[in-house]
Chain A
Amino acid sequence: MKAKAITLNVNGRRHQVTLFPNVTLLEALRDLSYTDVKNGCEKGDCGACAVELNGKVINSCLVLAWQADGAQILTNAGLGTMESPHPLQEAFADAGAVQCGYCSSGMIMAAKALLDENPNPSETEIREAISGNLCRCTGYTQIVNAVQMAAEKMMQQRAQE
């Protein structure tokens, strides 16, 4: 098959790229310098490449770039900035949920998907939500803590609004 021009809307920016059908969304994103999306296994085992595709969290190594043509894609880098981080990003840093950091982007995207649907999750629900994301450094405890901290902060923010 031939290459095709497609549109990828990433973190609010529009990219037109010409890609062959066998290019995964993970490869396409990294080639566009969204290197916060990590390649851990390319088989959907580890969740390091998780991004949001039209509001649903997916492993970008298991989606072809063509399937994301025209879609809205959100990566961890699009969630916040250094000056104004997303509550999850802030909580991951504050709780010590980041060690080597390689799993953090995917973890944060998985946690965001949970909090979007369930603003006040139980520990069991948090564990379920990030059960597709591997971390070899932290032992997960501070990651769960961070998600709980972020959920609380986001609920407070909503209450103030």
Chain B
Amino acid sequence: MLHGRVLSSPYAHACVKRIDATAAEAIGAVVITFNDIPSVRYNERIITIPSVLHKDHYVLADKVRRMGEAVAAVAAETEELAEKAVRAIKVEYDVLPVLTDPIKAMKPGATPIYDTVLWGENEIEIEHNIACARSIEQGDVDRAFAEADVVVEGTFNLSKVYHAQMETKSAICRPEPNGGLTVWPTTQSIHNVRILLGQIFDIPLSKVNVKRVPIGGTFGSSIQMNPPIPICAALALKAHRPVKLTLTREEDAHDHTRYGEQIHLQLAAKKDGTLTGAKMEAIVDIGAHNIQAYSFLGVTVGWLVSLYKIPNVRYHGTAVYTNKAPSCAMQGFGNPQVTFATESLIEELAEKLDIDSLELRLKNYVGLGDTFWGQGPLVRSIVESDGVPELLHRGAEAIGWSDRPKSGSGTGRFRSGIGLGRGFHTSSAGAPQPGDVIDFSGAMVKLNVDGSVDVITALMDHGGGTLEALNRIVSEALCVPLDKVNMAPAETCSTVYDCVTHATRGVYAGGGAVLKAARTLREEILTTAAHYLNVQAHALTLKLNKDLEQGVVYTPSIPDRTMTLSELATRCWSESWKTIAAVESYRPVNCPPAYVTVFVEVKVDTWTGLVHTVKAVMGSDCGTVICPAMAIGQLEGGLSKGAGYALYESNAWSTDGQLVSGGYWIDSKTSGISETPHIDAFTAGFAHTYEPSGPFGAKGIGEAAINPVAAAYANAIHNAIGIRFYELPITPEKVLIALKKKERIHG
């Protein structure tokens, strides 16, 4: 196997004038540049439907738009030789002005980052570096604001933080004798990688086989096909040898982040606290590539109107290119940003109206029976399970909500405060009609001659326990012991399509698919057994026989008409009849909200500006809890990453487009255990709900766990020191500056 390395641009914005790879080739490396790759522009994330998909990416760049973008790549016998070869390549650049601020990037005269991109199949011009924009309006907003008793507003700045998944992006590609490729990538969707590689390299999909491998976390950063995958494929195809390409940590840190965003939000309400209107403007820093900005702009307002019932809304969102790492989904896909703004303003509104903010939330939240369109205007469904009141009341009691101090009343060096944030995430992007987002799953289930069951799905597991949950769903549906249900290794040539494991959809939608297949298999089992037992199929049922450690088919009224699943499958086999198997595709027609509430108690050190977490109480409404230990772990992880987003992680860029952290992990302030609350300070609990549309009543959990965390911290800090922060992260420096400013004004 050859080792690949990319030649990363040392500039954040430059045209590649000339590349001389002679010296690299002379030392035995296979080299690819822009001239060697197919001239196919693509979007690395193909979840948005093709007709509104923006495409601005090539496998290698002829114009670099961010620091570290790959302009060439090499493959060589050893990693060291590959590194030598990369350094031997000479590149001449025409260096261009760097734009790191989206507001400046939109100004007239700003250097264009793109001239044109493809939108669907049409080439469109990019003006003022605006990748796309969306306006969405419902109701009579002007009237709502004219008739409002109170309006609150704020401009919120949300940082473009790094996913910091433990494993950097990587791929191994092996060219096959038939002209095809076998690929082992870090991805959340083996099928989308297959489709993209087939399209880019013009290989029939039947010859592109992408394998599922365990991956070291992702948090959304591998929804899109990561750059090393097609680069590695191009190298392997040119070298006619298998190639491995892994990004270094610095390369990875320049490759993907959460969307940075400025949100201006206004909320209008009546004296009794009824929300009547909202105006929202979002300026979204998408970085160097448009990975999914169009749907991001749609969900941004979707999160707002699905948090609270706001009948009149005016929204405008603008997605702007900058010379920074491309923004993509990161646990929440815009939801932590919008929830931070909304939950901050809800607290301000409550203060203005002198209403308990918890009561204000209960009065206005989108709950049971309400229409819900978190995933954008076309993804509407009705809420059928709602644990919000239970979570709010239980959490309030656990944290001592009613005893919290009046905001800013504390004195002395250490000042304590309690804050609340509530939020949700959609379980999948399912809806009765197709939307602008592709969302469906597929699964096969097959009964083996020993009574064990294979589950075959292209779903991924990034550490949340998704595949374990799927095994449990099949075990329950088929009355087969859990240890006899096996999640088969997956590859694209032998699984049916599954869109992506993202959007908090693994258990809900992926689980829905395996349950649908398991139920079909169950019917097949009963029909086949009816033939052997000479009874009507609908008189038969299944149960788990614990003594035999397997499922049995039986009819309650005639006890001797029974056979084990092993006997049934063995007869089908030995009599040369058939395999009992089922395959299904499943489109969820809902995307039920997985609600989460977070109460935190903080202690602010007014000497150092440090914010300590004294206590955190998290509550989750994920419907039926399929894997309790893993579900609790999702909440704890959400708190950890959420606290990092709220307090530490900034991921700032210098004006020349370099990461201030240089891609060093410690300098980008990824939360370590020192920043995490002690274990007895953290409690988590689940609401007692059942989601009618979910597998055995389950909803999702993953992204919901982080969405309200930053807001809870900001509200707790406000409660402690009477200062509201509109910008993340709320670092000790910012706290100290704000305290000094407050002292000057009031002191």
Contact = CB atoms under 8 A, between A and B. Distances in A.
Interface of A: 20, 22, 27, 38-43, 45-46, 48, 95-96, 98-103, 123, 127, 130-131, 133-145
Given A46-B665, A103-B166, A144-B673, 7 more contacts: A38-B166, A40-B167, A101-B216, A127-B678, A139-B682, A140-B673, A142-B632
Contact of B665 (A38, A127, A134): A134
Nearest to A148: B679
Contact of A139 (B79, B164, B462, B640): B640
B633 A145 contact: no
Contacts of B79: 27
A123 B249 contact: no
B214 interface: yes
A99 B464 contact: yes
Most buried by B among A22, A127, A130, A139: A139
A41 B630 contact: no
A96 B249 contact: no
9 contacts: A40-B168, A40-B249, A42-B248, A99-B637, A100-B462, A130-B673, A134-B164, A139-B633, A139-B676
Given A43-B665, A131-B673, A137 B249 contact: no
A136 B465 contact: no
A131 B674 CA distance: 6
A140 B464 contact: no
Nearest to A129: B673
B372 interface: no
Contacts of A127: 673-674, 678
Most buried by A among B165, B665, B673: B673
A42 B217 CA distance: 18
Contacts of A103: 166
A142 B637 CA distance: 10
Chain A binding surface SS class? loop
A148 B639 CA distance: 21
B639 A139 contact: yes
Most buried by B among A48, A131, A141: A141
A140 B676 contact: yes
B374 interface: no
A136 B164 contact: yes
Given A38-B166, A43-B665, A135-B166, A141 B217 contact: no
A123 B636 contact: no
Contacts of A131: 672-674
A139 B249 contact: no
Interface string B632-658: 110111111100000000000000000
A123 B679 contact: yes
B670 interface: yes
Interface in B196-236: 214-217, 219
Nearest to B465: A99
B674 A141 contact: no
B10 interface: no
B664 interface: yes
A101 B80 CA distance: 28
A141 B463 contact: no
Contact of A99 (B80, B630, B666): B630
B679 A145 contact: yes
Interface in B440-498: 462-465
B548 interface: no
Contacts of A100: 165-167, 214-217, 462-463
B245 to A, nearest CB: 14
B633 A99 contact: yes
A57 to B, nearest CB: 16
Nearest to B215: A100
Contact of A45 (B80, B163, B638, B664): B664
A102 B166 contact: yes
A113 B384 CA distance: 50
B80 to A, nearest CB: 8
B166 A40 contact: yes
B213 to A, nearest CB: 12
Nearest to A96: B629
Nearest to B631: A96
A43 B629 CA distance: 32
B638 A136 contact: no
B672 A134 contact: yes
A101 B249 contact: no
Contacts of A144: 673, 679
Contacts of A145: 679
Given A43-B665, A123-B679, A144-B679, A137 B674 contact: no
Contact of B632 (A38, A96, A134, A137): A96
A140 B214 CA distance: 21
A96 B219 CA distance: 18
Given A102-B167, A102-B216, A127-B674, A137 B463 contact: yes
Contact of A140 (B166, B168, B635, B640): B640
A115 B244 CA distance: 38
A116 to B, nearest CB: 20
Given A48-B166, A100-B216, A138 B637 contact: yes
B670 A134 contact: yes
A101 B674 CA distance: 20
Contact of B637 (A41, A101, A139): A139
A7 B464 CA distance: 40
Contact of A42 (B249, B637, B670, B676): B249
The 3 closest A-B pairs by CB, nearest first: A102-B216, A100-B463, A99-B463
A6 B470 CA distance: 47
Interface in B655-706: 664-666, 670, 672-674, 676, 678-679, 682
A136 B464 CA distance: 12
A11 to B, nearest CB: 21
A100 B465 CA distance: 9
B673 A41 contact: no
Contacts of B670: 134, 136
Given A48-B166, A96-B633, A137 B217 contact: yes
B637 to A, nearest CB: 4
Contacts of A45: 249, 664-666
Contacts of B640: 138-140
A110 to B, nearest CB: 11
Nearest to A27: B79
